[in-house]
Every structure is written in structure tokens, then in C-alpha cells.
Structure 1
Amino acid sequence: MKKQILFFFPENPFSDKAGNVIRAKTNLNVLKKLGYNIDLAGIEDMYKALNDNTDFDNNLVDHLFLLSRRPSKRITSLKYWKYKIIKIFSKRNKSNPLLTAYIKGCFRELLKKKNYDYIIINYEQWTGLLDGKLSNNPVKIIDTHDWITLNEFYKNPLLKIGDRFQEEINNLKKFDRIITISQDEYFIFNSFLGGKVINIPPSFPVCFSSTSKKKYDLIFVGSDNIFNIKSMQWFFNSVYPLLPENINILIIGKICRHLEKKEGVEQIEFSKDLQEYYDVSKISLCPMLEGTGIKIKVIEALSYGLPVVGTERAVDGFSSKYANGCLISNDPEIFKDNIMALLQNESYYQNLKTQAEEYFRNNFYEEKSIQQWKKILI
């Protein structure tokens, strides 16, 4: 009999709108290839806030369960008034206001209906879903995605770092397996939590392009999170004015909503198939100034064999900061020089492209991820 997995991810992993979402869908692909039956759970309020539909790939997922943070508001509903009373006496979760006592109760009811062998929770903030005794004693796995304390500090410099990091470590202790995607974050969590921590970097299939004719010199793919917005504002304020006027740049994603129209810059807010654009682009941009974890957009670019020009944050989480297909600098002038060196020297470009492909095969190839997941699902 196939083993059962309950995979909790708060958003719709099939929306393809951001790197974290793409990675969640990639993990579902890997788990299905390993032969598991998978149910998906998410948060109804997040689906609505993000305008996510409830479509999912039934070749990967058997059922979708959406959890609401409160029952429907009906005066005669006993469930609603019970929720109101519990809310009065419950402490608000400061790190995750959406994690209500009602959601926890709904999740426990879900677990009573089916004996899952594994429960995979995405993001440390949702650890509270597992509060209380679990029937069938499933293996509890957390996919951290990021070092959340640092992520929250970037957004709120007044954060009490010690208290938040202690909370994060205490939450991670509740799991049997702890997955990181960044080598840097693996070192941090392994130092505190030992052997239950395993690093499984993001993975993609190989999509190296043999297309020689390129329409775009530079491509950037990103959602409209605060880190992407700051990064592209820096690029257009500090690097773009240094580039020749004939440079062709393509920007894809909701980040376009926050960018002014520029000469030589094409903007596409959404594309279901990025390959057609990566295939006709020469260099991928990653001018990240903040943010935690490995940058999915960089791994994705490497999977298409594109060299990357970025800032130091572009190679966060890499096992090697050099010989990885990326040219790195936080200095706008050097950043510009790195772009121009690749565009003007074809031999140099081909050498870095080969380096990008080799580094991808050795570190982020899908088969490698499958083998790593296989080791922890025993």
C-alpha cells in the first residue's frame, strides 16, 4: 500500500507566481515520483488575499483542503460562538496572526479522518498546526524555506531578535526532520539542532538551451515582494544609467507593477511558460540587496544554462561562492562591467555558461533532490 503524505503549504503551489511557490510544486513532483499519495492543505484566507484559485494538478495531488481561520459568521451557529469564546481566552500568535485556535482545530480534525504516514509543514510560522497529540504518530517534517528570524528582521529592524530566534528554534525542535535549502542556513540550524537537519537545495530539470539567437540581453524574473522591489529600484537607479542605450532588458512577474517604463525594457506581468523567454535571453539578473535563503530565480536561470550577474546576495546558500556561473559585485560600476564583459566577449560568455551548467548539474539537478528526499522518507 502506498504511504500517505499531508503536504501543508499556505498558498496555492500551482499558481507559479513566485520562487517559493515554484519550489513547493517541484517538491510535490519529487514526492509523487517517489510513489507517495499526497493530500494538500492550505489557508483559505491566503488563497483569497492572493487571488489564488483552487485549481491543482490531480496527477500530483489527490485532495485539496482549505483551512479557514474562523467559521462562517452565522448567529445561530454553535461552532461560530464556540470560536468567539475560545478567541477571547486564546493568546494571539504574534509571529503569525492567521494561525488561530480554529485553524488548529480544523487541522486536527483533518488528521483524524485519515492516517497519514508523513506530515510536511512549509514554514516555521505554521508549526502550531501540530499542537496537541497526533494520532498514528506520523513523521513530522518541516521545510524551513528561509531563516525566518533574519527574514523578519529585514522587514522590521526593531524585532527582538533573541526572542524570535529562540521561538524559531523551539518550533523546529518539534519536528523529526528539518529541511533547509541553503547551505548557510543548514550550518546555523545544524549547530543548534544536530543531525535531524538536512539540506535539500531547490531542484529543476535540465533545460539548457541551444538557441544561439538571443532577443534579450538581460532577464529578471520576480514577484512583487519587498526584497525584489528594493533590488530592482537599486538596479534602475544605480546600474541602468551606466549601460549602453542599445541594451534589451526583459522583466517578468508582478514586480512590473512597481517599475516605471524605461527605454529598452520590456515588461510582462505573468508568463505560464518561462522557457520561451529564458531561451532567447543571454544573461539573468539578480541584484538582491536583502532577503534570506537561496535565491530560486538564480537556480532557475542556471537550469537554463544562463550566466547570472548579481550582487553578493545572489549566491546566498551556495556551497561555493565561486566557479558557479555567477559574476558578483555590490558596486554598480563593477556590476555594469560584469554585464558588458559577457555581452562583448563571446568566448568569456561561453566559458561562464559552461560553468553555470556544470554547477547546476552538480548541485541542483532534480535527480539529486529525489535521492535526498528518499533518504529522509524512511
Structure 2
Amino acid sequence: MKILYFYPENPLSYSQGNNSRALSLLNYFKDRSIHLDFVGEHSDVFTEDSIKELKKEKLIQNGYLLKKKKKSENIIRYYLDYSFPKKLNSRFKDFDRTKFGHKDQFLKIINDGDYDIVIISYVYWSSLFNMELNGNKTKWIVDTHDFLTSQFQDNKKFSLDRYFKKEIDLMKKFDCVWVISNEEKYLFSQFLKIPVHLVAHSLPKTEISLNTEKTIDIVYVASENFHNVKSADWFFKKVYPLLPLDIRITVVGKINKHIPKLQNVENLLLVKDLNEVYKKTRITICPMLSGTGVKIKVIESLSHGLPVVCTERGVDGLINKTNNGCLTSNDPLLFSAYIQRLLNDSEFYNKHHLEAKSFFENNFDTKRTYEVLDAIFFQQ
């Protein structure tokens, strides 16, 4: 079996949860000894050196980066194949992130590679699917990662019916759709006649050491996207003032660019190995107010048996909304109360620690997701 996997960013970058999901899929293909070639989008932070690192880790066989061509390289092709089609479809430009030259480069990779399966990450890269390839043996899969229509709802020209129809129509081009949450599987399967598979984010079972000194009371991990910035603002303005100043908080990720400097808050912009941070941590928080899909950082926390205090959005995509290691509230006072009780009541803490551990093992352990992927790739 020969697979081509497109994911635009560097899976080895630890700055975002979606990269963790991509990396977990690469580890699956490596574990199953599947020939995997990789395609990403070239950027200042995703270069040929990154491809070499992926090869060094034996996660991929061959790697390619799509590069934006200059208009001057072929002015006629630029207007006929890129500029004019973009303008004609300007209403839905959000659903197409390809740049000039990307489709030609991708088509060449496909034609040279003779792949059995091509996996495209995100519906807004679905235009890489080339109609010229219809009828050949290649099976095309789109890994949605998220419900995009919801992400665009604040756009000025947003229209729910048109955007949702566009998202569904793009999925219909493929032979199979992957989703990351039960909610998205239910939604998309109502409108699609092709298979919709739930491929949850998975992590290896973590050995939890009770002897490691817990030097961090709360860990908050987040990137700097719009949803996280809004959520961090809510937490530090509404919840943080209600917490005792002797609580030790560590904030990890680019979200640090958007929060104030506080005496009991440690700011770590980049951490190479989050597992080492989690081992020293008592609880985590996920104060998401908006956004869709599973919150990868919640799953990572549960894998370490760490209780999570979160808002309602924090449990999106989880099969169970209760008895899962998460304490949920959108009320700042109750959010604060949950944090303080977990830190001060050992019996209460142990109850939610065990729930987190059990829920993770039953739903997100690598073994579970590998069984789903094995059925997709080896039992057809």
C-alpha cells in the first residue's frame, strides 16, 4: 500500500493541537510499516530542513513542499487557471487555500507516485483533488479536522445555507470522509452518502508517576488563534482575580503574547516536550468560549490523568460530557470554585483523576484509534 498524505503545516511543531493529531497519524503509518509520502505547504517555518527531520524520524518516505509561484513565471496560466477562477468564486474564497502553482505541483506528485490512497487534510484544501484523476485506482480521503462553516460565521458575507452547502459539496468529491468528533460525524453523515469515519485523536497510554513532585498547580496550553485570545482574556479578567495568589500557574504557547505579566504566572512560549510539564502538573484548564471540534489539549491532559476545568466548549467532541475528568462551567465564580476544590480536596481530586484516566483509556488510547484505522486500510 502506498499513501500520499497532505497536511499543510509541520507535524513536528508543538505549537498547536492540530499538529499533534497529524503527528499521531504519521506514527500510525510508521507503526504499520505503510509507505507514506508527505506533502506540506512551504513557509518560513516549514522548510526542507523540516522534511529532512520527518525523514530522520522515519515518519515519511518522501516529502514535498508546495511553493507559491510568481505571477511573472507564467502570466497567462496565472490569470486563466488561478486569478480569474478565484474571482469568480470569491464568495467562497474561505474554502480554498491553494495558491498559484500549488495544483500543478500536486498533480505532478500524484502522477509520479502511483498512489493507492491520497489523504487531504482540511476541506479548504480539497481543490487539490484533480478531476483529471477521476477513474483511476486512487482512493481519495478528506480528513476534515473541523466543522469549517462554523469557523466562518463572523465573516461579513457569511450565509449559513450557502456556506454549509459549499462545505458538503466539497466533501462529496471524495471517496471517504474522516471526522474527529461524534458531533461532526452525526452532522455530516446526514448529508453525505459516502462513508464518514470517526478517527479520534489518539495518544499512547501514559505511565502516571505518583512520585513526581507537583510544582505546577495549573497548566494552560494554547496557541494565539482568535478563539484562544478571546478565551484567555475571559479567564484572566473574570476568573484569575477570584483565585488565591499562591496558586502556581504555568501558561504554555503563543497565547502568552496576549496575556498580562502576573506574579504567580510562569510564561513558556515554546516547550519541546509537554509531557514533562504535565508530569509536574496537578490540573489543567481549557476556558474556550468559541470554536468547534475536539480540544486536543484536553485529550492530552486526560492522557496524564489530569482533571480539566473547562467551559462548555472544552468538552466539544467528547463522547461523554460528564464523568470524563472534566469539570465544566461558563460561570467565572464556579470555574474558580472548581479549581480551588480540586487543589484543596484530595478525595474530590482523586475521583476526577480516576475518571480522566479511565475515560482516556476507553476512548482515546492509541489502541482504540489504531483499530479504526486498521479497519479502514486493511479490511476493505
Partner of 1:182 in structure 2? 181
Q: Deviations over 1:211-268 (max 9, x none)?
A: 4421111001111111111111100000000001111000001111111101200000
Q: Which SS does the other structure have where 2:178 is aligned?
A: strand
Superposed displacement of residue 168, structure 1? 0.4
Partner of 1:82 in structure 2? 77
Q: Which moved more, 1:143-152 or 1:126-135?
A: 126-135
Q: Deviations over 1:121-157 (max 9, x none)?
A: 000011111131217421111110000001121x436
Partner of 1:43 in structure 2? 41
Query: Following the alignment from structure 2 to structure 1, what is the Cα–Cα distance between the partners of residues 241 and 214?
Result: 22
Q: Which moved more, 1:333-342 or 1:202-211?
A: 202-211
Superposed displacement of residue 35, structure 1? 2.2
Superposed displacement of residue 88, structure 1? 4.7
Amino acid at match of 1:331: D
2:118 is equivalent to residue 123 of structure 1: no
Partner of 1:335 in structure 2? 335
Query: Following the alignment from structure 2 to structure 1, what is the Cα–Cα distance between the partners of residues 188 and 235?
Result: 32
Query: Following the alignment from structure 2 to structure 1, what is the Cα–Cα distance between the partners of residues 175 and 86?
Result: 26
Partner of 1:18 in structure 2? 16
* CA-atom RMSD in angstroms: 1.7
Query: Following the alignment from structure 2 to structure 1, what is the Cα–Cα distance between the partners of residues 79 and 165?
Result: 30
Q: Deviations over 1:254-290 (max 9, x none)?
A: 1111111012000000011111110011001000000
Superposed displacement of residue 96, structure 1? 4.3
Q: Is the 8 A contact 2:325 2:352 kept in 1?
A: yes
TM-score (normalizing by structure 2): 0.92
Q: Deviations over 1:162-220 (max 9, x none)?
A: 11110100011111111111111111011111460011111001124214421111001
Partner of 2:308 in structure 1? 308
Superposed displacement of residue 5, structure 1? 0.7
Aligned ranges 1:188-203 → 2 under 5 Å: 188-194=187-193, 196-203=195-202
Superposed displacement of residue 310, structure 1? 0.4
Q: Is the 8 A contact 1:182 1:199 kept in 2?
A: yes
2:346 is equivalent to residue 351 of structure 1: no
- Could you tell me which runs of 5 or more consecutive residues in structure 2 were left unpaired when the two chains were aligned: none
Q: Which SS does the other structure have where 2:327 is aligned?
A: strand
Partner of 2:261 in structure 1? 261
Partner of 1:32 in structure 2? 30
Partner of 2:86 in structure 1? 91
Partner of 1:293 in structure 2? 293
Aligned ranges 1:315-334 → 2 under 5 Å: 315-334=315-334
Change (3 A) 1:253 1:123: same
Query: Following the alignment from structure 1 to structure 2, what is the Cα–Cα distance between the partners of residues 310 and 228?
Result: 13
Change (3 A) 1:335 1:272: same
Change (3 A) 1:114 1:291: same
Percent identity of equivalent pairs: 38
Amino acid at match of 2:172: K
Aligned ranges 1:101-250 → 2 under 5 Å: 102-134=101-133, 136-153=136-153, 155-156=154-155, 158-194=157-193, 196-212=195-211, 213-250=213-250
Q: Is the 8 A contact 1:208 1:303 kept in 2?
A: no
Amino acid at match of 2:54: D
Q: Deviations over 1:62-116 (max 9, x none)?
A: 121111232x466xx5x45533454454334512454246321221111111100
Partner of 1:282 in structure 2? 282
Query: Following the alignment from structure 2 to structure 1, what is the Cα–Cα distance between the partners of residues 6 and 324?
Result: 33
2:51 is equivalent to residue 57 of structure 1: no
Partner of 2:362 in structure 1? 362
- Could you tell me which runs of 5 or more consecutive residues in structure 1 were left unpaired when the two chains were aligned: none
Q: Is the 8 A contact 2:47 2:65 kept in 1?
A: no
Superposed displacement of residue 57, structure 1? 2.0
Q: Deviations over 1:283-333 (max 9, x none)?
A: 010000001001001001111110100000110011110110000000000
Q: Is the 8 A contact 2:71 2:78 kept in 1?
A: no
Amino acid at match of 1:140: W
Query: Following the alignment from structure 1 to structure 2, what is the Cα–Cα distance between the partners of residues 52 and 68?
Result: 11
